[in-house]
Chains A and B, each alone.
Chain A
Amino acid sequence: MSAVVGAERPQVVSHVQQALNYTVFECKWVPRSARLLCLGSAARGTGLIQLYELHGARLELLREIEKPKPIKCGTFGATSLQQRYLATGDFDGNLHIWNLEAPEIPVYSVKGHKEIINSIDGVGGLGIGEGAPEIVTGSRDGTVKVWDPRQKDTPVANMEPVQGESKRDCWTVAFGNAYNQEERVVCAGYDNGDIKLFDLKTMSLRWETNIKNGVCSVEFDRKDINMNKLVATSLEGKFHVFDMRTQHPTKGFASVSEKAQKSTIWQVRHLPQNRDVFMTSGGSGSLHLWKYEYPAQRCKKDSEGSEMGVAGSVSLLQNVTLSTQPISSLDWSPDKKGLCVCGAFDQTVRVLIVTKLNKI
């Protein structure tokens, strides 16, 4: 681990703190604005969507929408910049896409899964990437389904357990490799430590591995480029960074792993403006900012002459403890470098500013 000089290290400054009266599961920035969304579950068992605007040193509540079922996750990934529709997954397995200006009736709705949708991701929207906008959902019923908002009721891809085999909960999903209109992969992490990479162009399983502890969060460093890096975080404080450029026929992808803290690492999010910097949030209420350094040679030949990737190294830039409860969700603002929002189980949402990211 290389050391960064003390005075030049990025600092995590807590800008605003807002106490909420419900459990917040996801917080997301509304693209191209200084507004953020909080999704969660109210005490009476209904779902809440709250829209806040950042005004100086406080958050102003603009809109509050209540839905019959608690909402677990949401994404703006599959909508265009002008529409900015929110796709949400709720505790009942329903996938909805909402127009926030007319939230009474969803724009798209499907009962996608039999159990809670744990994680959702969107690709093809927001002016990022090419190809059709698609949404992927991963659920506790062990299936991962890819949806196209133009096709009702049936998913365009379904990754489900073999008939008769017992299922494992899918905890996280992520899109990647969407650099042209045909290519796309979905990465899914399960509670038994399985990570599976599905190729949507060939509709097959491209790679799988097991990291022993349940996978809490996976993310590609960029969705819209040739797969570069994948970070997978797990229980017991470990995360793995896989170098996705070179796939070895038997060994798969090279990885480096780091044990950051004793508690579960709930989320990993890459900085939109610098794909080698990412932040992990932990069960002890702490945030760690990491930087990945590439090795001198990214791939080498092994004994049989087939190409093998070489993993680099990860160094800790900064860490800070904000809360006593796990920080379950984290989102960088795509518009302002260093601005991020995090929501924790102590029912607060915090807007943070990470300084000196230009100097990394």
Chain B
Amino acid sequence: MPLWLREHSWRQTLTAVYLSLPLRGARATPANIFCSEQYLKVSIPPFLFEAILYAPIDDTNSTAKIGNGNIFFTLYKKEPAMWDSLTLANADKEKLQYLRENAVLKAHEKAKEETEAKKITKQEHKKYALEATMKVEEAERKRIEDLKEKERQKVAKELELWKNQQKNGDKYKSLQKKGELHQKPEPLKERKSEKIDKTRIPNEGTSKTRLKSTKGHGSCSIFSQNLKEEHLPAPRAAATIKVNFTPRVFPTALRESRVAEEEEWLHKQAEARRIINSDLSELEDLKEEEKNPDWLKDKGNKMFAMGDYLGAVNAYNLAVRLNNKLPLLYLNRAACHLKLRNLHKAIEDSSKALELLTPPVPANENARVKAHVRRGTAFCQLELYTEGLQDYEAALKIDPRNKNIEKDAEKIRHLIQGTMQIS
């Protein structure tokens, strides 16, 4: 049960009501105060004060001042009139309840409206800002367009001027030219050219139409042009120059170089796949899938992964009998032999793999690195350190960024130096 605060005091004027509510030690915040048109509530648990006001007030403008253990309300009446009392005296429970709910609802609506209004104003502000920036940009663009347009027009005018000059200048020149070309007396020429004028579409129109007017100039220029003609040297004596093109390190221009090699490699691979050494009688005993070198290779890889090295070797052997041109088979078999410590066989297989991995292209880089590393390892385990080092260095050349290979190469170098010192 809340504790009702009843010791309030109030006074009024025609337009306002002043209500003072002592708080009995409780601390109030704005959140505790709830006010609507005709309902006022202050709830600071466990204290409670509520009042159904005598007449409606303007709750947006009314204020409440919190301080000194007191709340001081300034309520502006909606209608200026003197109230008989602060609260409605004959308020029964139901009416109270109804009023309360109403008040709450009203407050909600008000809050909503306020947020709506806020949103709208915000949007309008944004819009306005946007329009302003658009206008500014538009103006800028227009300015640039105008500049461009002006430039264009200026230039176009100059062009027209030049064209007209051309036409006028051409008069005299063209007449001379016509004279030289045909080398006939002037009047005849003119008639001919006039005829030509009428029948043909005048693409060289300007020069021809002028012929009528300018007569005199032709004669002298005919002769000068004639002289010039004679000065032209005779056609050259025919000769042939043989050319060589740049010798090819790469078959084609720089940007195409690797394509050729890659294609060779792919071609080789494709061929290798097609070879099937099918002359073995035991083949009939095998199942279909066991005749496929790829399947066998996969089988071998699985067995290697599980640690069954002998089984893997068998698988690879069979695969090699079927197709002895796949470098990967030899490569993997070399790895198995390493694990089985068949070092000589490992070296043999790595060598064969490397042989098959020509031409050296980026596509088979990985395989070549592995082959070199495996052969190198085998050499080292046979204590042929110099050969091993050679292989490691070859691997490093192909893939300089591999730290493991680098470390191993260093180890071998130290070993070599160690043994040399001893011996």
Bound Cα distance A80, B246 (Å): 38
**CB interface residues, B 241-265, toward A, < 8 Å:** 241-246, 252-255
Known: A11-B151, A132-B232. A193 touches B253 (CB 8 A): yes
**Residues of chain B with a CB closer than 8 A to A56's CB:** 156, 160
Q: At the interface with chain B, which of A38-46, A206-214, A295-303? A: A206-214
Residue of A nearest to B205 (CB): A62
B204 contacts A210, CB within 8 Å? no
Q: List residues of chain B with CB within 8 A of the CB of A57.
A: 156
- Known contacts A156-B236, A160-B240: A63-B201 contact under CB 8 Å: yes
**For residues 265 through 324 of chain B, which have their beta carbon under 8 Å from a beta carbon of chain A?**
none
**B207's closest neighbor in chain A, by CB?**
A82
Q: Would you call B236 and A200 a contact (CB within 8 A)?
A: yes
Chain B hits for A198, CB < 8 A: 241
The reply on B422 being an interface residue by CB < 8 A is: no
A165/B166 contact (C-beta < 8 A), A56-B160, A355-B155 known: no
| Among candidates A80, A160, A204, A214, residue contacting B253 with C-beta atoms closer than 8 Å | A214
A11 to B144, CA, bound (A): 13
Of the stretches A146-154, A244-252, A341-349, the one at the interface is A146-154
**Cα separation A213 to B181 with both chains bound (whole Å):** 46
For A162, the chain B residues whose CB sits under 8 A away are 242-244
Encode A181-201 as 1/0 by CB contact (under 8 A) with B.
110000000111110101010
User: How far is it, in angstroms, between the C-alpha of A178 and the C-alpha of B156 when the chains are bound?
Assistant: 35
What residues of chain A lie closer than 8 Å to B233, measured between beta carbons? 131-132, 181-182
**Per-residue B-contact encoding for A160-180, CB less than 8 Å = 1, 0 else:** 111001111000000000000
| Residues of B close to A106: CB separation below 8 A | none
- Asked whether B246 lies within 8 Å of A51 as measured between CB atoms, the reply is no
B163 and A62 form a contact (CB under 8 A): no
Which residues on the B side are within 8 Å of A54 (C-beta)?
159, 163
Using A193-B253, A193-B254 as known contacts, say yes or no to A203 and B241 having CB atoms under 8 A apart: yes
Nearest chain B residue, comparing its CB with the CB of A196: B243
> Across the interface, which residues of B come within 8 angstroms of A196, CB to CB?
243
Encode A317-346 as 1/0 by CB contact (under 8 A) with B: 000000000000000000110010000000
Interface residues on B, range: 35 or more
A158 beta carbon closer than 8 Å to chain B? yes
Contacts of B166 in A (CB 8 A): 32-34, 335
Contact between B159 and A161 (Cβ–Cβ < 8 Å)? no
Residue B238 CB within 8 A of the other chain: yes
Instruction: List A120-149 residues whose CB lies under 8 Å from chain B.
Output: 131-134, 146, 148
Q: Which residues of B have CB within 8 Å of A272? A: none
In the complex, what's the smallest C-beta–C-beta distance from B328 to chain A, in angstroms? 35
Does B25 touch A at the CB level, under 8 Å?
A: no
In this complex, the interface size class of chain A, counting residues with CB under 8 Å from chain B, is 35 or more
A285-B56 Cα distance, complex, nearest whole Å: 78
Judge whether B246 and A213 touch: CB under 8 Å.
no
Chain A residues near B162: list those with CB within 8 A. Answer: 34, 335-336
CA distance A62 to B205 in the complex (A): 11
Smallest distance from the beta carbon of A215 to chain B beta carbons, Å? Answer: 10
- CB of A15 within 8 A of CB of B155, answer yes
Q: A101-B203, A192-B252 are in contact. Are A157 and B163 (CB under 8 A)?
A: no
Given A54-B163, A355-B151: A82 in contact with B181 (beta carbons within 8 A): yes
Query: In the docked arrangement, what's the CA distance between A246 and B246, Å?
Result: 23
A62-B201, A212-B254, A213-B253 known; A132 vs B245 contact (CB < 8 Å): no
Instruction: Say yes or no for A21: interface residue by CB 8 A criterion.
Output: no
**A240 CA to B148 CA, complexed, in Å:** 33
Residue in A13, A100, A339 whose CB lies within 8 Å of B148: A13
Determine whether A205 belongs to the interface, using a CB cutoff of 8 Å to chain B.
yes
Q: Are B236 and A148 in contact (CB under 8 A)?
A: yes
Q: Separation in Å of the B135 CB from the closest CB of chain A?
A: 26
A182 to chain B, nearest CB (A): 8
Min Cβ gap A35→B in Å is 8
Encoded as 1 (CB less than 8 Å from any A CB) or 0, chain B from 117 to 154 comes to: 00000000000000000000000000000001001100
Closest to A143 in B: B243
Does B31 sit at the interface, judged by CB under 8 A?
no
Q: CA of A13 to CA of B242 in the docked complex: distance in angstroms?
A: 46
B237 within 8 A of A: yes
- A155 interfacial contact with B, CB 8 Å: yes
Q: Does B2 contact A (CB under 8 A)?
A: no
Docked CA distance A15–B159 (Å): 11
Q: Which of B32-72 contact A (CB under 8 A)?
A: none
**When the two chains form their complex, are residues B234 and A132 in contact, meaning their CB atoms are under 8 A apart?**
yes
Instruction: Determine whether the beta carbon of B243 is less than 8 Å from that of A192.
Output: no
Q: How far is the CA of A122 from the CA of B62 in the complex (A)?
A: 98
Q: What is the bound-complex CA distance between A210 and B248, given in angstroms?
A: 12
Is B240 a contact partner of A159 (Cβ separation < 8 A)?
yes
* Interfacial residues of chain A within 203-252, with CB under 8 A of chain B in the complex: 203-205, 210, 212-214, 235-236
Partner of B243, one of A15, A32, A160, A236: A160
Residues in chain B near residue A192, CB distance under 8 A: 245-246, 252-253
Complex Cα–Cα for A100 and B376 (A) = 77
Q: Give chain B interface residues in 136-195, CB to chain A under 8 Å.
A: 148, 151-152, 155-156, 159-160, 162-163, 166, 170, 173-174, 176-178, 180-181
Q: Tell me whether B200 is interfacial, beta carbon within 8 Å.
A: yes
Per the bound structure, the CA–CA distance linking A51 and B163 in Å amounts to 17
B89: CB under 8 A from chain A? Answer: no
Taken together as a complex, chains A and B put the C-alpha atoms of A162 and B245 apart, in Å, by 9
Bound Cα distance from A101 to B196, whole angstroms: 10
**With a CB–CB cut-off of 8 A, which chain B residues contact A35?**
203
Interface presence of A274 (CB below 8 A): no
Q: Does B1 contact A (CB under 8 A)?
A: no
Determine if A353 is an interface residue (Cβ-Cβ < 8 Å).
Answer: yes
Does A83 make an interface contact (CB < 8 A)? yes
Residues of B near A15 (CB, < 8 A) are 152, 155-156, 159
- Asked if B177 contacts A34 (CB within 8 A), the reply is no
Residue of B nearest to A157 (CB): B239
Q: Do B200 and A101 have beta carbons less than 8 Å apart?
A: yes
- A159-B243, A210-B246 known; A101 vs B204 contact (CB < 8 Å): yes
* 18 A–B contacts, CB within 8 A, in A order: A13-B155, A15-B159, A34-B166, A35-B203, A81-B177, A101-B196, A132-B234, A151-B238, A157-B239, A157-B241, A158-B239, A158-B241, A159-B242, A198-B241, A212-B253, A213-B254, A235-B255, A355-B155
**Contacts beyond the supplied A82-B178, A205-B241, A235-B255: 6 A-B pairs with Cβ under 8 Å:** A15-B159, A34-B162, A133-B232, A154-B238, A158-B241, A194-B245
Q: What 3 pairs across the A-B complex have the smallest Cβ distances?
A: A82-B177, A148-B235, A156-B236
Residue positions of B touching A, CB distance < 8 A: 148, 151-152, 155-156, 159-160, 162-163, 166, 170, 173-174, 176-178, 180-181, 196, 200-201, 203-204, 206, 232-246, 252-255
